[in-house]
């Protein structure tokens, strides 16, 4: 499966325009949690492994009503760019880094949404849902997470802007059939932005939450519950 190497750049670009995190915040505490990621492979005996349509996935996305007060829907980011390059991470470069500041995993059936929370805090949350066969989701997601966490540091060039990236694997919560999680620190213009990304596969649906670590942790179970309730 071809994967866009800039899978998290859309939300990162937004975060980098907001105030840097200060010591003692939820972001810093999240960065000191479990030292590595956890990918739990379980047998999938679900006979109904037919991928869902993008329209069906749309109905399973979180809404402002699901999240509560203080959240504002953020418009999507275009992926039509050809000026993104990855430097210092051959594994990511080998994936064929398609230039996209709102890129996503390249599964054909997908839906996405994003929110900002409390404008003064600079917090954001993005949700992506994908559907394919369980095997395809597992292989494709493992490939991109392994590539990203396999390079502790690398650089992303977006047009004329250089963003230094450091990655750290985290222990993923034991939810769904498979789990992946990572903490990423983006440095640009003298500012550091910390982003957490957690992915959960449940049968033929992949849920990815990205954004401020505290918000990802807070809403992960709620997002997964909405996906499973639609079955």
pLDDT digits (tens, 9 = 90+) for 162-205: 889 899 999 999 999 999 999 999 898 888 989 999 999 999 99
The number of C-alpha atoms within 13 Å of 41 and in the hemisphere containing its C-beta is: 7
**17 contact partners, CB below 8 Å, separation of at least 6:** none
Residue 116 lies in a domain: yes
Is the pLDDT at 102 greater than 90? The verdict is no
* Structural domain of 183: 9-229
What percent of the chain shows pLDDT beyond 70? 71
pLDDT at 104: 62
pLDDT band at 160 (very low <50, low <70, confident <90, very high): confident
> Which has the higher per-residue pLDDT, 140 or 25?
140
Is the pLDDT at 230 greater than 70? The verdict is yes
Q: What is the pTM of this model?
A: 0.80
Nearest to 108 by CA among 55, 147, 183, 60: 55
Alpha-carbon dihedral 202, 37, 172, 64, rounded to 10 degrees: -90
Domains contained in the chain, number: 1
Residue 2 lies in a domain: no
Is the pLDDT at 33 greater than 80? The verdict is no
Is the pLDDT at 82 greater than 60? The verdict is no
Residue 105 lies in a domain: yes
Token reading at 45: 């005996």
pLDDT at 151: 87
**88 contact partners, CB below 8 Å, separation of at least 6:** 151, 153, 154, 155
Q: Output the domain CATH number for residue 104.
A: 3.40.1000.70
Report the mean per-residue pLDDT for the chain. 77
The number of C-alpha atoms within 13 Å of 10 and in the hemisphere containing its C-beta is: 26
| Candidate from 18-32, 68-82, 197-211 with smallest mean pLDDT | 18-32
Residue 204 lies in a domain: yes
């Amino acid at each position: 499966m071809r994967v866009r190497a800039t899978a998290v750049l859309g939300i990162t670009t937004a975060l980098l325009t907001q105030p840097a995190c200060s010591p003692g915040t939820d972001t810093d505490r999240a960065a000191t949690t479990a030292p590595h990621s956890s990918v739990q492979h379980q047998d999938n005996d679900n006979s109904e492994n037919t991928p869902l349509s993008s329209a069906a996935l749309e109905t399973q996305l979180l809404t402002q009503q699901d999240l509560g007060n203080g959240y504002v829907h953020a418009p999507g980011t275009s992926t039509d760019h050809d000026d993104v390059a990855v430097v210092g991470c051959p594994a990511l470069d080998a994936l064929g880094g398609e230039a996209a500041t709102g890129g996503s995993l390249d599964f054909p059936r997908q839906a996405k949404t994003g929110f900002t929370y409390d404008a003064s805090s600079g917090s954001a949350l993005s949700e992506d849902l994908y559907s394919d066969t369980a095997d395809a989701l597992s292989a494709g997601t493992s490939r991109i997470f392994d590539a990203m966490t396999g390079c502790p540091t690398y650089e992303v060039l977006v047009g004329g802007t250089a963003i230094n990236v450091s990655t750290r694997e985290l222990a993923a919560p034991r939810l769904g059939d498979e789990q992946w999680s990572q903490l990423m620190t983006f440095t640009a213009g003298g500012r550091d932005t910390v982003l957490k990304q957690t992915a959960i596969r449940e049968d033929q649906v992949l849920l990815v939450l990205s954004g401020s670590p505290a918000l990802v942790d807070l809403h992960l179970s709620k997002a997964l519950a909405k996906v499973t309730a639609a079955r």
